[in-house]
Amino acid sequence: MKTTLDCIPCLFRQALETARMFSKDPTVHERLLKDVLGWCRDMDMNKPAPVMGQRIHRRLRRLTGLKDPYRRAKDAQNKMALSLLPGLRRELARSGDRLELAARMAIAGNIIDMGAYGDIGLKGVHKAVQHALAEPLRGGLPAFRLAAKKARSILYLADNAGEIVFDRLLIEELGPERVTVAVRGHPVLNDAVMADARAAGLHKLARVIDNGSDAPGTVLEETSPEFKALFKTADLVIAKGQGNYETLSEAPRRVYFLFKAKCPVIAGRAGVALGAQVLARSGRG
């Protein structure tokens, strides 16, 4: 989806937060904001907003020499999510519809977002889980259930650290032998990379690949040949999080998107209320 004018204030907010994760030096923060001011002036609004996020992270990596200042936060997020896993499994065991509840839990995990108005604290995550348990998924569930039943191969695009532990529950329900999990190819924000898939234990359960790209979303043309081939041929593609929705909602195949609508622009585009749990599918394919 395109970048809207409403994304501009939010991009600056995120740029400043990101700069502060990379460095305590105010000259770095100011330098980055000046860069972003220039980029935004000439930007192609037809490109999705995560492309700007990618550019911001690239510049900060160059300015500071740091590769992954979010690593410690991601470790903490994985640990927190793993501590919730036994309780979530008990809820699943009690459930009459395990696939739906596992999907809702995977969406609840999407609250752990350091980009767009997420919440990385235990309290916010607990609240999201309670919300997920209480509020049924509307809309795309029957089609998703059918697609999941029929698929021989499933490509599962992970989003954030911590969240990827919640994803494990849905992957287990889907049947991990059919699933390939794709994480980001390079650290960006608190997005999950290979280390996070391992922390969640996914490597023992399913095939895990990285997508070869450093975008906080899935910019198809930048992904690895292996990823591109899987994206094209998998019977079912499941994409987690807003960044994947923004970058893949117009992809040339059907994709099922699972995310919490944390920003008003995306909620509006998906036709849901802010904060809603979304299971949407792209029109094509």
**In the complex, which residues of this chain contact a copy of itself (CB under 8 A)?**
5-6, 8-10, 12-13, 16, 26, 29-30, 33-34, 37-38, 40-41
Nearer to a copy of itself, 10 or 92 (CB): 10
- As a whole number of angstroms, the longest Cα–Cα distance in the chain is 56
CB of residue 21 vs a copy of itself: minimum separation in angstroms? 14
Closest CB to a copy of itself among residues 33, 141: 33
Shortest reach from residue 61's CB to a copy of itself, in Å: 20
- CB 13 → a copy of itself: shortest distance, Å? 4
The residue among 53 and 109 lying less far from a copy of itself, judged by its C-beta, is: 53
Q: For 16, which DSSP code? A: H
Q: Between residues 45 and 229, which has the closer beta carbon with respect to a copy of itself?
A: 45
Q: What are the contacts of 116-120 at 24+ separation with CB within 8 A? A: 116/10, 116/14, 116/242, 116/262, 116/263, 116/266, 117/262, 117/263, 118/160, 118/262, 120/73, 120/77, 120/162, 120/190
Q: Measured between alpha carbons, how far is 34 from 148 in angstroms, rounded to an integer?
A: 46
Distance CA 201, CA 113 (A): 20
CB of 14 to a copy of itself, least distance (A): 9
